[in-house]
Structure 1
Amino acid sequence: MVETGDTAPDFTAPLANGDVDEFSLSDHLDDEAPIVLAFFPGAFTSVCTTEMCAFQDRLSSFDDLDATVYGVSRDSPFTLNEFRAQNDLEFGLISDYNKELIDDYDVEMDFADLGVYGVAKRSVFVVDGDGEVTYAWVSDDPGVEPDYDEVEAAVEDAA
């Protein structure tokens, strides 16, 4: 699992931002860091919706720290654009449709009783301008949200 002090695995994936663009982490470190990568199991589920809306509610605080927030899930970029629209999310959502980021960050979980495999554990990583992970939080319980104050403090430390 990726931990604090590790170099963040670089990736290129579709970004749902109202359109669908290509997003490479390394291309955004210079002008958007610190970057918050908030992995979540699935769009349109109750806890994931609450979590992404909580990040939206705090977006101005992250903006004040010159930080950028991205949600990350296995949903398609088209699903994520609809999720963004329905929840008035102003930040981009990264589609890990092929499960590459989940594997690289080692945050895979299954809902075997539902027949759902290979989704993201709820987790948050803060990446500084040098590509170093300065904060890592991973939950084995999909019903637990991150401590948003703690994430904000980690961003402030990385800024």
Structure 2
Amino acid sequence: MVSTGDTAPAFTAPLANGDVEEFDLEESLDEAPLVLAFFPGAFTSVCSHEMNTFQDRLEEFQEAGGSVYGVSVDSPFALNEFRDKLDLTFDLVSDADKDVIEAYDASMDFEALGVHDVAKRAVFVVDGDGTVTYAWVSDDPGVEPDYDEVLEAVHEA
């Protein structure tokens, strides 16, 4: 599992930003600290609440110098619709190939629902050197991160 102090696994993936572009972690380090907020699935209640909370607090993260990105296995087209529906102004990374959740060891199954290989709810803060300065991973998809703790991590990165 990716932990505090580790080098963040590099990746390139589609970026849902109202259009579909490419996101490259290493090329985005100049926007650091980066908040990578992994979530299981667009259009679900807890994920919607989490992304809305990041949106509601986005100015605080930006004032601390941070850039927020949501990450899920949904397609970039679904993520753009999700982004529009929630009026999100930060971008979402599509890990439809599931390479990112595997690299960050943040993959889980919902056996009872027959859903496999979705993102665990997790948050990683990555500094400008590509080092993970904060890592929080939950095995319970109903638990949201401590947003104050994430904000403090951005301040400290």
What TM-score comes out, normalization by structure 2 length?
0.99
CA distance in 1, matches of 2:28, 2:112: 38
CA distance in 2, matches of 1:21, 1:65: 26
| Partners of 2:122 and 2:135 within 8 A in 1 | yes
Shift of 1:36: 0.2
| Partners of 2:65 and 2:155 within 8 A in 1 | no
Deviation track 1:90-134 (CA, whole Å, cap 9, x = no partner) reads: 000000000000000001110111110000000000000000000
Q: Which residue of 2 aligns with 1:28?
A: 28
The AA in structure 1 aligned to 2:22 is: E
**1:2 counterpart SS class:** coil
CA distance in 2, matches of 1:9, 1:18: 25
Q: Which residue of 2 aligns with 1:102?
A: 101
How much is the aligned-residue C-alpha RMSD, in angstroms? 0.4
CA distance in 2, matches of 1:66, 1:153: 11
CA distance in 2, matches of 1:154, 1:27: 21
The AA in structure 2 aligned to 1:153 is: E
Q: Which residue of 1 aligns with 2:51?
A: 52
Query: Identity across aligned pairs (percent)?
Result: 71
| Structure 1 ranges of 4+ moved more than 2 A | none
Q: Which residue of 2 aligns with 1:80?
A: 79
Which sections of structure 1, spanning at least 5 residues, go unmatched?
Answer: none
Q: Which residue of 2 aligns with 1:147?
A: 146
Shift of 1:57: 0.3
The AA in structure 1 aligned to 2:135 is: A
* Mapping of residues 114-129 of structure 1, within 5 Å: 114-129=113-128
Q: Which residue of 2 aligns with 1:90?
A: 89
CA distance in 1, matches of 2:64, 2:155: 6
Q: Which residue of 2 aligns with 1:2?
A: 2
The AA in structure 2 aligned to 1:146 is: P
**1:22 counterpart SS class:** strand
CA distance in 2, matches of 1:60, 1:12: 26
What TM-score comes out, normalization by structure 1 length?
0.98
**2:103 counterpart SS class:** helix
The AA in structure 1 aligned to 2:17 is: N
Instruction: Give the aligned length.
Output: 157
Shift of 1:6: 0.0
Shift of 1:28: 0.7
